[in-house]
Amino acid sequence: MTDDTAMSIDNKHGQELISFSIASQEYCVDVMSVREIRGWTQATTLPASPEHVRGVINLRGSVLPIVDLSARLGLGTTASSARNVIIVVDIGDKQVGLLVDAVSEIFTIDPKTMQPAPDVGSEAVRRLVKGILPAEGGKLISWIALENALTDGLANAA
């Protein structure tokens, strides 16, 4: 666990996270960064944008960039359908919509249960995954570091 992560977790009450699925895998983010959860809305594509930026949508008069989180994590692009969900999150001073397959639950973790992201020889893994959390049935949930998910291409799209 990094010092930054340790500082963001209230050791007395734990950390509330929201989990979601992408390509049959479970991921989570800090629930405090989530502004809303919406059904899939077709995005307007932007020319010369990165593959993981699906485009933008109109969210109550504001332009909201939509990131295909599956593509951002290197898992391939999502074949969007009415079953998909957009999680609107705050990343720094920007709002971004994350395209995911489905939202699972909100849960609280004990900071002692989080394991560091494994060293698999990829800096991208360490930048995008804050840690790994054990779940019921022997499953593992990757905690996504939203603050590192914003790329230069997305910053320009927003």
- Average of pLDDT values for 66-81? 91
CA distance 11 to 111: 7
Out of 6-20, 35-49, 104-118, which region has the weakest mean confidence (pLDDT)? 6-20
Greater confidence (24 vs 56) lies with 56
CA distance 153 to 84: 23
- Residue type (1 letter), 125: V
Partnered with residue 105 across adjacent β-strands are: 19
Domains of the chain: 3-157 (2.40.50.180)
CA distance 104 to 107: 10
Write out pLDDT tens, residues 47-57: 999 989 999 99
pLDDT of residue 7: 35
CA end-to-end span of the chain, whole Å?
31
- Residue type (1 letter), 96: V
With 90 as the cut, is the pLDDT of residue 93 above it? no
Q: Where are the beta strands (DSSP E) in the chain?
A: 15-22, 25-30, 34-39, 53-59, 62-68, 85-91, 94-100, 102-109, 129-134, 140-144
Nearest Cα neighbor of 98 from 14, 24, 17, 35 is: 35
pLDDT of residue 151: 53
User: Strand, coil or helix: what is 44?
Assistant: strand
Out of 22-26, 31-35, 69-73, 150-154, which region has the weakest mean confidence (pLDDT)? 150-154
Looking at every residue in the chain, the average pLDDT score rounds to 85
Write out pLDDT tens, residues 25-70: 999 999 999 999 999 999 999 999 998 999 999 999 999 999 999 9
CA distance 153 to 124: 16
